Chain A
Amino acid sequence: MTNYFGTYFGYKLKKSRVQIVIFAILNFIGTILVALIMKKYFADTRTTLKSANGSMIIINSFSEFMAPIILCVIASIIMIVITMARSLKFYYDQAAMDTLGCLPLSYSQRFWGDFLSGLTVNFVSYIPFMIISIFIVNSTKPDIDLMMESGFDYFSGFNKIPNLFIKIIIMFVLVYIGVYAVTMFVSSACGKLGTSIVFSAIILVVLPGIFMLYGDFFFSFVKGADWTKEIADSIGMLPPLGPIVMMCMNYNSTVGFDIKLIIDKPIFLIINIIITALFIVGAYFIGKRRKSERVGNGFVYDSVHSVLSLTLAVMLIGVFSYKYNSDNGFAGILLTALFSFLVYGALELAQKKSFKGFGKTALRYAAVFAVCFAFLTVIKSTHSFNYYKKLPKESNIKEIHISGEYFGDNFYVNEGFNYRSEKSISRVLEEHKNMLENPNIFTGNSLEITYSLNNGNKITRKYGFSKPDTLNPLKAFSDEVIKLDKFSAQNMELLESEDFSDIRIEYNAFSYDDNGNKLNLPEGFIRGDKLAEFTKLLRYDIENNFNNEKDADKTGNVSIRKVGTNKSEFYEIFVTYKQTIDFMKNPDNFGSAEDADNDEEKIFQIKLSKPYDGDGIRMNGISSKTDDEDLKKFLSYIEIMDSSDDNYSSFFNINDMKKMYISYGVKKENEDAAMEMFARYFRKHYAD
Chain B
Amino acid sequence: MIKFENVTKKYDDFTALENFNLEIPTGCAYGLLGTNGAGKSTLLRILSGIYRTDSGKVTIDGEEIYDNAKAKQRILLISDETSQFNGMTLLQMKNFYKTFYSKFSDEKFEQLNNIVKLPTKKKLGGFSKGMKRQAAVICGISAGTDYLFLDEAFDGLDPSMRSEVKKMIIDAMCDNDMTVVTSSHNLHEIEEFCDTVGLLHHGNMLFNKDLGELKGNIHKVQCQFDKLPEKEDFPGLDILLIEEKNGFTNIIAKGSTDETLEKIKAKSPSVCDLIPLSLEEIFIYEMEALNYDRTELM
- The complex places the Cα of A102 from the Cα of B145 at a distance, in Å, of 12
Is B100 within 8 A of A104, CB to CB? Answer: yes
Partner of A104, one of B11, B51, B72, B151: B72
The residue on B at minimum CB distance from A295 is B50
Partner of B45, one of A2, A7, A10, A101: A101
Does A292 touch B at the CB level, under 8 Å? yes
Nearest neighbor of A106 in chain B, beta-carbon distance? B69
In the complex, what's the smallest C-beta–C-beta distance from A364 to chain B, in angstroms?
A: 20
Give the distance in Å from the alpha carbon of A11 to the alpha carbon of B98 in the complex: 12
Count of chain B residues with Cβ under 8 Å from any Cβ of A? 29
Bound state CA distance, A485 and B131, in angstroms? Answer: 90
Checking A89, A105, A293 against B69 with a beta-carbon cut-off of 8 angstroms, the contacting residue is A105
Per the 8 Å Cβ criterion, residues 86-125 of B in contact with A are: 96, 99-102
Instruction: Assess the A104–B85 pair: CB atoms within 8 A.
Output: no
**A101's closest neighbor in chain B, by CB?**
B50
Chain A residues 255-296 with CB under 8 Å of chain B are 291-293
Is A98 among interface residues, defined by CB-CB distance under 8 A? yes
**Candidates A4, A11, A102; contact of B49 at CB < 8 Å:** A102
- Please list 11 pairs of residues, one from A and one from B, whose beta carbons are closer than 8 Å in the complex, sorted by A's number: A11-B99, A95-B81, A95-B82, A97-B50, A99-B85, A103-B72, A104-B72, A104-B73, A104-B100, A106-B67, A106-B69
Instruction: Determine if B245 is an interface residue (Cβ-Cβ < 8 Å).
Output: no
**Are A1 and B69 CB-contacts (below 8 A) given A97-B50, A98-B77, A99-B84?**
yes
Beta-carbon contact of A98 and B45 below 8 Å: yes
A104 to B103, CA, bound (A): 13
Once the chains bind, are A95 and B83 in contact (CB under 8 Å)?
A: yes
A101 CA / B81 CA spacing, docked (Å):
14
Nearest-neighbour CB distance to chain A for B58, whole angstroms, equals 13
8 Å CB contact of B70 from A1, A94, A95, A293:
A1
Contact with B along A88-116 (1 / 0, CB 8 A): 01000111111111111111010000000
Within the complex, the shortest CB–CB distance from A508 to chain B, in Å, comes to 77
Measured between beta carbons, the chain B residues less than 8 angstroms from A291 are 51-52
Closest to B99 in A: A7
Give the A-B pair count, Cβ closer than 8 A: 75
Docked-complex contact A98 and B73, CB < 8 angstroms: no
Contacts of B99 in A (CB 8 A): 4, 7, 10-11
Q: Which residues of A contact B85 (CB under 8 A)?
A: 99
Q: Which residue of B lies closest to A288 (CB)?
A: B67
Is B68 positioned at the interface, with any CB of A under 8 Å from its CB? Answer: yes
Distance (Å) between the CB of A288 and the closest chain B CB?
A: 8
Contact digits for A405-438, partner B, Cβ 8 Å, 1 yes 0 no = 0000000000000000000000000000000000
| Closest chain B CB from A57 CB (angstroms) | 46
* A100 cross-chain contacts in B, Cβ below 8 A: 84
Point out the residues of chain B lying under 8 angstroms from A109, CB to CB. Answer: 69
CA distance A104 to B100 in the complex (A): 7
Contact residues, B251-283 vs A (CB, 8 A): none
Residues of A within 8 A of B67 (CB): 106-107
Q: Would A102 and B81 count as touching, CB distance under 8 A?
A: no
Distance of B237 from chain A, by nearest CB (Å): 46
Q: Counting chain B CB atoms within 10 Å of each CB, which of A3, A96, A101 scores highest?
A: A101
Contacts A11-B99, A102-B72, A109-B69 given; indicate if A293 touches B51 (C-beta within 8 A).
yes
Contact yes or no, A95 B84, CB < 8 A: yes
A102 touches B75 (CB 8 A): yes
Task: Contact check, B70 vs A104: say whether CB atoms are below 8 A apart.
Answer: yes
When distances are taken between beta carbons in the complex, the residues of chain A under 8 Å from B48 are 98, 101-102
Kindly state whether residue B199 has any CB partner on chain A within 8 Å.
Answer: no
